Structure 1
Amino acid sequence: MNKKLFLGTLLLLLVIILGLKQEQNPIWAEYQKKYFIEQKKILQAQLETAQDEKTKALLQNEITGWENRKPEIINIVLPNGKVERCKTCHIGIEEISSSHPSNTFGCTVCHGGNPLSLDKQTAHAQMLGTAHPGSLDVASLSCGSTGPNGEACHSQNHEQADNEVDLVKSSLMSTKAGELSVVRMMFGLDKTKDVPNLGKNDVAIQYSHPLMGLPQEKEFQESCLSMCHQGGSGHLPNLLEVMKNGTAGQANVNNNNQNTAHGCEVCHVLTNPEHTYQGSDTAMKGFETGHGMTHQLTTQIPYTQCNQCHNEGIHDPIQMKFTYRSDLGKVVDDWKTGNKDWDSRLADYYLPGELFAKCEVSLDCIDCHTRQDVMGDGNKWTSQYDAVHIQCADCHGTKTSNPLTKTIENMNDLAFEEKVTNPVFPELKVGDQILMTKKGEELPFARQKGQNWFIYSRVSGESTKIPLVMGSSCQQNPEEQNADSCHKCHTGADLHK
């Protein structure tokens, strides 16, 4: 009995000692110390290249400040009076965007969790989507929630265009219904583009797939459904892992949650090939893969981000196989090095055998595809052709008519819904002339300057003159002015036509 009492007392003392030790050296203090050291190294490098004495003195003062700084609990007091301590651990984390400042919105409005806890497990409990609040299964609670000021975010707004969370759930980007309908028609299961029993917010995994009960069912389930159609979150494969493992390893790569992006993040959080975090938050560095390069949202989405899903390889719906492109190594290398010159874009942008015109290589995907193309327009589409709002004639017109135009008459115009983060892009003003699609959607990035029209890149801000069909040598039938028709002449074989 005495022996048991002694052992119990010893164990209790050990627990108390460990607790006191942890309290004296909490993990958040270690994160802060690492951050102080990193900031000192950055300034030290600047000091070594500084030329004038005044700059050197300023840098040395900053270095001394970081050397003398002690870890401390960081409280963020929001306008509604609530306190959050997330930055005590995540001291160096980047602001998510200029329109979502942490001192106004905080962190938990998007991420959930327990903002007052300094214990990792407790603080991260009940987080929305774990580390991915953009997942479509929780987006209504994060992106679509109500801000600290009581205003609705990306849902529950009077203007439909402001309800991106609701719209995207019914878009082809989420449901993949257009691709499924093609497979169903190809195998003679349907005579129309409509997928039977498809509800507005349904996704592919929630309704019968095209080959149910047929010999190809297993291959379709393992290849197509595991590649793109699982849930509504989307995926971004770690292409370096794909290259290392080959196509045989694709199922493991794409089903590993550590290597996937989710929902809104697929487009709006830029990644590197390894999907690893490269920012300044020492609590995030060295974390498992499956994260953006920085903790930042962007609307300046380059083609390299779209390429990760749309130009990885070729689907064979007959054999139910997906083959990664043979030049994937070069594509990934261009992505890593930031090589985006014309030759690289031409090689990386499209797969061999595909048709495309010059503008489709020189511009980025988001320069043409409209908000409703990508985010959805509230309608249930099962055909890509029906869902896509942009066609060649929307910018170039036909040989009998110029493109549709619109004059911005007031600040309530929907054209202002396009949140522009590119500082090079000219500010949209009342009185400006913009182009319109035949479906009635504004194209605020296409502007008139003198007698000519220009399109401005949403990534770089650079302008490109839009050649008009009227008055040119084009003989295309004005009733056949969609991309498929134009590609009969304007193809990759002659990009300068």
Structure 2
Amino acid sequence: MNRYILLIGCALLLTAIGLAWWLETRAPQPVALTPTLTGETEYCLTCHANLDEISSSHPVETFGCVICHGGERLALDAGLAHSSMRGGANPSDLTVVEQSCGGANCHSGDAADGRDHIQRVTTSIQVNYTGAITSLRYTFGAQPDQTPIYGALAVTDTSLPSQTGILRLDLFDPAAETSPSLQAFGENCLTCHINAEPAAGKQYQRYTGCAACHSPALPLPSLGEGRGEGGVVHTLTTAIPYSQCNTCHNRGNYDLRTMTFIERTDQPTNQLSNYPTNRLQNYYQPIAQFTQCEYTLDCVDCHTRTEAMGDGDIHAAKADIQYVQCKTCHGTPAELPLTQTLTDPDDLAFRLAFLNPVVDLQLGDTILVTEQGEPLWNTLVLPDGTYQLVGKATKQVFTFRPVMGSGCTQDGRDQSSAYCHTCHAVER
């Protein structure tokens, strides 16, 4: 009997040893990476070696993966390795972005160095939706005036002194509203601020947080595929195509009587296979009126980083932060557009051009600038007095002349869209 038990025990032991050996031979061999910024070995590339490098300013040898994504750096089991990741697969979600992307030398640095990205984004109109929230609460009698009180995120303006006098926003809670219309607004109309989960449907699909804009879901001519394993987008770029903006914009209109979103009947395809020749149909809604440059260019070719990402202050409405006009690039019959000759190698224009190298800026080049001094770094003043613009997402080269000397009879003081559309509207 004892011999029988001994034989069974030996058989079980040998089986266990064999199983352990089999599992060991099947286990992935660790691929070690020791990023220079952390000096700590991590094994993420054991499974994720096929992911594209996320951007030229975030080389994997320098940053690695864990410094941004979190996770258990020495784990080889997927569940354990991913158990402490920030934001799931998206460390730019605004609930974790300070931990993932913050720091004085990264994206929560000094405003004077242009590194206060997180502060600017979290206080921006695109994130907080405070213009719509404030307007509707005032309309339905929930507040006495149109001074912003609530936003889609609770934020505080830390870039003091404030230029707007709005120092904080509390979190908008539709359930706390007594008006059925405001409750319906909260239920149906808060999917477009960039840290909200998008509405259902392929045409609305995007990430949240910074990646809502900077990680386009489609390949771009200026980037290549920008994808890793399983079709996961692993790209951060400032070459943002209009189709990415259209995951929120130009998709339809709100019915203020029912507080519902009415989709346009000709939903844009968002396919770039015929990019950009299908833009005339896809870019704007059928009811919209626009000029040729408004649909030929991408949104980021006109709207500046301050308009899109904010300036660190809390603003009451989109009109308070959006300031670029036709004259910014074209001038008026009486004035040429503003320009700047680049003499400082540390000029912000060079950093922006490095992030999206569609142009080769050189010291001594003269570029267009906005009235607030923002460099339009993808433009160039040519020797013959004409101007050149290179599309940030398409690399297309456009050459144009100033209004001055063209015979245009425009009143340069009127920069409204309707006024310019009188002569320059495109017929579809």
TM class by shorter-chain length? 0.7 to 0.9
Indicate the structure with greater helix content.
1
Per the alignment, residue 172 of structure 2 pairs with 207
What are the within-5 Å matches in structure 2 for residues 239-318 of structure 1?
239-240=201-202, 261-272=207-218, 284-285=229-230, 291-292=232-233, 295-318=234-257
What are the within-5 Å matches in structure 2 for residues 75-114 of structure 1?
75-79=32-36, 80-114=38-72
- Is the counterpart of residue 144 in structure 1 residue 77 in structure 2? no
Contact 1:447 1:454 survives alignment (8 Å): yes
- Is the counterpart of residue 320 in structure 1 residue 282 in structure 2? no
Per the alignment, residue 136 of structure 2 pairs with 183
What are the within-5 Å matches in structure 2 for residues 454-465 of structure 1?
454-465=388-399
Distance 1:308 1:401 in 2: 37
- Greater shift, 351-360 or 480-489, is seen at 480-489
Residue identity (%): 35
Contact 2:195 2:209 survives alignment (8 Å): yes
Structure 1 unaligned runs (5+)? 30-71, 147-151, 243-253
**Equivalent residue pairs, number:** 402
Contact 1:372 1:389 survives alignment (8 Å): no
Contact 2:174 2:187 survives alignment (8 Å): no
Distance 2:287 2:188 in 1: 22
Contact 2:75 2:81 survives alignment (8 Å): yes
Partner SS state of residue 262, structure 2: strand
- Greater shift, 164-173 or 457-466, is seen at 457-466
Aligned mate of 1:119, from 54, 73, 77:
77
Per the alignment, residue 404 of structure 1 pairs with 338
Query: Deviation of residue 440 (structure 1)?
Result: 2.6
Contact 1:393 1:482 survives alignment (8 Å): no
Per the alignment, residue 164 of structure 2 pairs with none
* TM-score normalised by structure 2 residue count: 0.83
Contact 2:149 2:169 survives alignment (8 Å): no
Distance 1:416 1:279 in 2: 23
Per the alignment, residue 69 of structure 1 pairs with none
Residue by residue over 1:125-169, the C-alpha shift from the partner in whole angstroms, topping out at 9 and shown as x without a partner, is: 2111111101011111112247xxxxx211223635222122111
Partner SS state of residue 45, structure 2: helix
Per the alignment, residue 162 of structure 2 pairs with none
- Is the counterpart of residue 134 in structure 1 residue 99 in structure 2? no
* TM-score normalised by structure 1 residue count: 0.72
Distance 1:168 1:269 in 2: 16
Partner SS state of residue 406, structure 1: strand
Structure 2 unaligned runs (5+)? 158-166, 220-224
Partner SS state of residue 248, structure 2: helix
Contact 2:92 2:208 survives alignment (8 Å): yes
Residue by residue over 1:27-68, the C-alpha shift from the partner in whole angstroms, topping out at 9 and shown as x without a partner, is: xx3xxxxxxxxxxxxxxxxxxxxxxxxxxxxxxxxxxxxxxx
Q: 1:321 to 1:439 in 2, by over 3 A?
A: same
Q: 1:16 to 1:223 in 2, by over 3 A?
A: farther
Query: Deviation of residue 83 (structure 1)?
Result: 0.7
Per the alignment, residue 38 of structure 1 pairs with none
Distance 2:227 2:422 in 1: 49
Distance 1:210 1:317 in 2: 19
Partner SS state of residue 281, structure 2: helix
Residue by residue over 1:319-367, the C-alpha shift from the partner in whole angstroms, topping out at 9 and shown as x without a partner, is: 2111222122xx22xx34622243x101100011112111011101111
The one-letter code sitting in structure 1 at the alignment partner of 2:344 is N
Q: 1:389 to 1:21 in 2, by over 3 A?
A: farther
- Is the counterpart of residue 217 in structure 1 residue 182 in structure 2? yes
